[in-house]
Every structure is written in C-alpha cells, then in structure tokens.
Amino acid sequence: MEHYDAQSADIVIIGSGMGGATSAWALAPTDARIVILEKGFQLPEQPENRDPKAIFQRGFFRPHELWYDEKGRGFNPGNYYYHGGNTKLYGCVLARYRAEDFDGLAHYDGDTPAWPFRYDEIAPWYDAAEQLYQVRGALGEDPTEPPHGTSYPHPAIPDEPPIGDVRARLAGAGLHPFSLPLGLDLEQWLKKAPTPWDTFPDARTGKMDAENCALLPALKYPNVSIRSGAEVVRLIVAPDGRKIAAVEYMQDGHTHRINAGTVILAAGAVRSASILLRSDTDGLANRSDTVGRHFMNHNLTALIGVSPRYRNDSVYQKSFGLNDFYLSDGYEGRPLGSIQLFGRVSGPILKANVPSVPEFILDFISRHSIDFFAMSEDLPNPNSRVRLDGSKIVLDWRRSNMTAHNLLVRRFKRVLKDIGFPFVFSRLLDRRLPSHQCGTIRIGDNPSKAPLDPYGRAFDHPNLFVADASTLVTSAAVNPSLTVAALALRTASEIKKSVLGIQDDVRNS
C-alpha cells in the first residue's frame, strides 16, 4: 500500500484512526497528493485476536510505551497504534451526542460550556458518518435521541435470548432500553469466531472501524499513500511563522521530513497535544495557552449483576443501553450519564482483574451474571492537562463530576437488584488509563480561548487542521467515535472549499 514515496504532499495526515482515516476518505477523490503518517502497522490476522487470555491477561496488544501521571508514576496507556488506530479494538458504539450537549449543561459539580455551533449544524454530518460506518440501529426507542435526517443504514443488532430477557425486565421497570447504534457486520464477525467484539481487535473480519470503512477505500486511490511505523516528532513552521512547512517523523530509526501544503493532525487527544507542545517552546498554535488543557476522560464504572437463577449463555451481549438518566437523575435533577452493556465478560476476562480468584469460580459467576458500565461526563478543566517533561508525556487528569457518577452507579445498582439480580459488584475504572480521551486542542470562536476555529483550523496557522477527539469541547456521556467522524467530514469539506477550491455538499459526501 505504500506506493507513493514523494518527500512532499499536498496534504499530510498524522494518524489513521477515526479522524485521520475519515479525513483521508473524504479527501481522496480530490486528486490532492495525500500522505498518511501512522505510528503503527496493519494489524495482522493471528490467533491472539480472538483469545481473551492473550488480550486481557497477557496484554498482548498493549503498546510498548509509558506515559506518566502528575506524580511521575509511569503507566502503560490504553492507546493502540495500528492502521485504524484505537478503533481496531473499540466496542463499535457509534452514538450521537444529544442535542442538549451542544448547548452546555448544568451538572452537580459544575457546568459545561456551549459549543461554537448547535446540533443542527453537525446533524447532516452525523447522517453522513452513519452511512460511511454502516451503523446498525433503531430509531424511536431512546427518548433522548436527537433528530436524524436519515434512518440507520441497517437494522439493529439483535439481542440474544438472555439479553432480551434483561431488556424486558428493565422495560417492565419503567425504563427505556434502546438498541445501541453499532458499527458491526455481526454475521461476518461471528463467522470468524464466536467471541464478543468489545476490546477484541479486528483484522478486517466484521468491525466497521476506521481502517475497514475509510482507510482501505481511501488507499485505493493512486494519490493516497500511508507510511507505517512513522512516529511524528514535531511540526516545522515556515520562516514567516504562519504556515506549517513540514512534518518531522521517525521511521526505521531515521529522521525524515515531508513538506506539506496542508497538515491534518489526528494522532489522538494525548499525542496530538504532545506533538504541538513539542513543536515550539510555548507550544505550537498556542496563543490561547490551551493546547494540552481541558483534557477529559469519561468516568466509567463496571457493574456486574449476579443471580443464581439467571443463566447467561450469550456470546456478544453488547446490544442495548439506557439513557433514562442522561439529561436528569429521573427526579428533575441534573444529568447523571448513560448505561451500556459491556461485551460479554467471561471467566478469563474477569481473571485479569481479580487474579487471586480461581478461574472456575469466575466462570460460574460469568454464567449467572450480566455486565454493564455506567458512563458519566467529565467536565472540562484547564488544569486537567497533557504536558511534557523532557521527552515524557505527562497526563495530569483531574477527575470531575463524581457526584453525578456516584449517583448514577447507586441508582443503577438499585435497578439491577429490583429486576432480579441480588448481588451487584462495581468497580471504578483506573483513572490513569485513557478512556475516550478528548478535549486538549478544542474548537472555539475566540482565538484567545481556543486553538482552533469551529472547522478545526488553527487560528495561528491557516494550513493546520486538527481532526480527532482533541477538538471536542465537551465529553458528553456517550462514546465519541461518531462525533469525531462527523467533525472530520465537516473539516474535510472545509478543506475542499477553502484550500482546494472544490464546492462540497454534505449530502453528496
């Protein structure tokens, strides 16, 4: 695939995850010379892809790197480097932010700011992203679902019988379980092996991920190429201080530079911020002093409901969620967050988290349990940030909004007990591991408060765009992948018009 070897390009895209691959797909038909720089390689077909012990116990796919917390303690981050980025292991949930998320919301521990545009502006791009990523879903089940211009491309992934039983119990309790919008060809996935897909890597066997839906189609164009194993070090500014002249990267132990007409930075919220911080003494595109700031993770708690009378023989499990507490606590109070099924949590997966318990006991628990996670919004805070300590990436995350999250966990524990699961176990996920990382190079309408304009263009450098989750103003309480894809399509449309002189119509994108 690495068939174009020029040392200059019209467009250089840094990263091939959801933002980078989607940008490449949208721009490929323009005939612009596009080079994608990707730190990782294509994920090979191998037995470990469907082996829960390899994935969860041995950490076979974990990156060989350390980031550091605010106290200088190193940790191995949940950040993956492959063609397709983190989407190679994602849970395939492709949900829209709620319309209210773009207006700003009042939470128990603070307020979120409004975006520089409302939901109506991004809605057509959500429609386009759902078509590109072949989302399976069902409209009309979730009362919080914002308006759609088109139906989902495919019907929802069906519940397996024991999961359908729990959905019915929740509906009987007055809640509104809805089919998760999922980017997955279930028949193709299960044909390879009967496993869950959540956190299982996909070597092109059914996931509608950034590689399968966007990157591979883009690479069919002769003007698009990818350089694997290319870790970007910094961006080089032209002598006038305005434009980005080149991108410097390491490959095979050597330093390379590629001249760039336009740069699209899409390396992820932590790495994109670190690249800008490394590119200039005070950080590139950092007049606002906000590059690396406002880092957000979701607050996530795993909940396992156990009942000796319940038999769970499902394979994948992850087919529905709940947003009954998304916009309020159910008593006209403030937002709490969302609830989703985990992918099927088997004994080997549980063993990775409780190694002292014999696996046969964990297998028994798994057969009589159902697994959810509670997700609450993390509020933007300028002191929650990515920074550099020499060559080290420091992630100083200031967890927020725990009042709402703790309420959500308590409420749903009560719900699970009420519908027949007398034993409910919960665990707050590790604060050091990036989970839906976002917000470090956010968009805005004021260059003194944000690095990027509403289209993702750097205020200080007109040929620099950012197209990953770092641009998100708020984290909301849903998975960010579809929003990243929608924003990347919108940014690519702006590049077509303002850089390439091509009139674009979202309806034809």
Secondary structure, 3-state, 401-463:
CHHHHHHHHHHHHHHHHHCCCCEEEEEECCCCCCCCCECCCCECCCCCCCCECCCCEECCCCC
**Contacts of 205 by beta carbon, 8 Å cutoff, 6+ apart:** 45, 49, 188, 189, 191, 192
* 405 phi-psi bin (left φ>0, alpha ψ -120 to 50, beta other): alpha
Neighbours of 1 (CB within 10 A): 15
Place of tokens 């450098």: 461
What does the chain come to in residues?
509
Q: 271 by DSSP, 3-state: which? A: helix
Tokens read off for 471: 């641009």
Q: pLDDT truncated to tens, each residue of the chain (509 aa)?
A: 444 345 899 999 999 999 999 999 999 999 999 999 999 999 999 999 999 999 999 999 999 999 999 999 999 998 899 999 999 999 999 999 999 999 999 999 999 999 999 999 999 999 999 999 999 999 999 999 999 999 999 999 999 999 999 999 999 999 999 999 999 999 999 999 999 999 999 999 999 999 999 999 999 999 999 999 999 999 999 999 999 999 999 999 999 999 999 999 999 999 999 999 999 989 999 999 999 999 999 999 999 999 999 999 999 999 999 999 999 987 778 999 999 999 999 999 999 888 999 999 999 999 999 999 999 999 999 999 999 999 999 999 999 999 999 999 999 999 999 999 999 999 998 765 657 999 999 999 999 999 999 999 999 999 999 999 999 999 999 999 999 999 999 999 999 999 999 987 664 44
Residue 103 and residue 117: Cα distance in Å, rounded?
A: 8
Sort strands 231-237 and 224-228 into parallel, antiparallel or unpaired: unpaired
Query: Which residues are registered as beta bridge partners of 256?
Result: 249
Q: How far is CA 316 from the centre of its chain?
A: 20
Residue 300 and residue 446: Cα distance in Å, rounded?
A: 32
Tokens read off for 408: 């959500």
Residue 342 and residue 26: Cα distance in Å, rounded?
A: 32
